[in-house]
Amino acid sequence: MLSLARPLIHAAVLLAAVLLGAGAAVGQTAPAASAPAVAAAPAETRPDESNAERAKSQPGNNAPFWRAVRGSGEQAGYSSLPGAEKGTLIQSFQQYPGSRFTTAGEAWRQVRNNWIIPYGGSLLLIALVALGLFYWRVGPLGGHIPDTGRKIERFTPFERAAHGANAAAFVVLAISGIVMAFGKFFLLPVLGGTLFGWLTYALKTAHNFAGPLFAVSLVIVILTFIRDNIPKGSDLTWIARLGGMLGDHEIPSHRFNAGEKLLFWGGVFAMGLVVVASGLVLDKLIPGMDYTRGQMQIAHMIHGAATALMMALFMGHIYMGTVGTRGALDGMRTGYVDEAWAREHHELWFDDIQAGRILAQRSAPPVPPIGAARPQS
C-alpha cells in the first residue's frame, strides 16, 4: 500500500503547486490605464517573470522553448548514448542575412528536394530519351563487314569477372537508389504505404551491402583497364569527327576509343571514386570521423549529385555495350569478337594484333565444308 500511496502523494503535491502558481499569475493586476506608455525596465528581470509576461501577452508563443532547445550549438543536453551530437536535439544553424533557413537540417532538406531530386531525375530522363531517339533514328552501329569466323580475344576471364562483379553491384545500387530517391513519385501511389515501406527497407539494406562490393570491384576495374585508357593522339581525331557515328564508317581507334576513355576517366575514375568515398561516409566505414550531422549532410549531397552524373554516363555505356553496337555484348559475354568486328570498330587495335605488337589469343579459322572455297585471309 505504501508503494502505491507514495506516487499519489507526490502527484497531489505537484498538482497543488501548479494550481497555486497559475492562481498567482492570474491574480496579478494589470498596469493602470494612466501609466506611461513606455516604462523603464527593471535592472534585472528574472526568466520566470519574462516568460509569465510573454504567456499573458503572447499565448501560444513557443519561440523561447525552441530557442532553448536549439541553443547555439555549444550547449547540449544529457544523453547516455555515445557519439557526437547525441545530446543535441535539433541541429543549430547560424542564419545568414537574407537566408530563409533557420536550421542546417532545413537547408539540407531544401537542397535535396529542390535541386538534387528534380535536376538529377531530369538528367536521367533526358539521357534515357536521348538514347531512345538515337536508336530510333540511327539504330545499332556496325555490321557493315561480314564476319570471317576467326575470333580474337578482347577480354580475358579476369577482366570479364572484374567487370561483371562491378556491373552487378552497380545494377543493385542503381535500382535501389532510384527507388529510394524517386519511388515515392511513381511507386508509392501504386503499391501503397505498407508495401512501399517494406520494399524501400529491403532495397536500402541491399544498397548498404552492395556499396562495399562496388567500391572494391571499382578499384580492380580501374587498375585493370587504366593502361589501355591512356589518351593518345588518334583520340583527338575520333573526338573531332564524333567517332564517325553519323557517317558510313567509324574512326580508327585502339582497344578503347576516345568516347570509352572519356567514360573511364569521367564516369569510372572521377565520379566513381567520389561516389564511393561519399558512400563509405554514409555507411560510416571511414575510420577517424565523428560523423556529425553536418558531415553526413554534405556527404549525402555529394553522393546524390555525383551518382546522378555517373548513372547518366553509364546509361550511354550500357546502351553501346548492348543494343547500340552489334556484337559488343558477345565480346564481354564470351571474351571473343570476330576479326571483322575488331577491324570495323577498333582498327588500330586490330592492326597492332596483326603486327604482333599486342599479344592476344586467336582462334583457328573455321573448317569450310567439303568442296567449298577456303576464305581468303
> What pLDDT digit, counting tens, does each position of 189-202 carry?
999 999 999 999 99
Which stretch of 4-8, 216-220, 241-245, 277-281 has the lowest confidence by average pLDDT? 4-8
Provide mean pLDDT across the span 137-141: 89
Which residues have C-beta within 8 Å of that of residue 243, sequence separation ≥ 6? 250, 251, 253, 257, 258, 259
- List 362's β-bridge partners, or say none: 152
Residue 31 has a pLDDT of 44
Q: Work out the mean pLDDT of the chain and round it to a whole number.
A: 81
pLDDT band with cut points at 50, 70 and 90 for residue 43: very low
pLDDT at 266 over 90: yes
> Is 238 domain-assigned?
yes
CB 116 within 8 A of CB 304: yes
Q: Domain span at residue 255?
A: 106-155+226-354
| Residue 273 domain flag | yes
The CATH number given to whatever domain includes residue 299 is 1.20.950.20
Give the range with max mean pLDDT: 2-6, 49-53, 93-97, 136-140: 136-140
Task: State residue 4's pLDDT score.
Answer: 45
When pLDDT is averaged across residues 303-326 and rounded to a whole number, the result is 95
For residue 161, is it within any domain? no
101: left (phi over 0), alpha (psi -120 to 50) or beta: beta
Q: What is the pTM of this model?
A: 0.75
Select the more confidently predicted residue: 365 or 53.
53
Percent of the chain with pLDDT over 90: 55
Q: Is residue 377 a part of any domain in this protein? A: no
**Has residue 285 been placed in a domain?**
yes
Domain count, the chain: 1
Pairwise CA distance, residues 217 & 163, whole Å: 8
Across the range 300-320, mean pLDDT stands at: 96
Q: Does residue 156 carry a pLDDT above 60?
A: yes
| Separation CA 40–CA 56 (nearest Å) | 20
Q: Distance between CA 15 and CA 145 in Å, rounded?
A: 93
Q: In degrees, to the nearest 5, what angle opens at C-alpha 138 toward C-alphas 137 and 141? A: 160
> Within a domain: residue 313?
yes
CA 360/CA 330 separation, integer angstroms: 17
| 129 assigned to some structural domain | yes
Share of residues in the chain with pLDDT > 70 (%):
75
Instruction: State the helix-helix crossing angle for 293-321 and 104-111, rounded to 10 degrees.
Output: 10
pLDDT tens digits, 46-101? 555 566 677 777 777 777 766 666 654 556 677 787 777 777 777 766 544 555 65
Within-domain flag for 184: no
Q: Which residues contact 295 (CB under 8 A, 6 or more apart)?
A: 281, 289
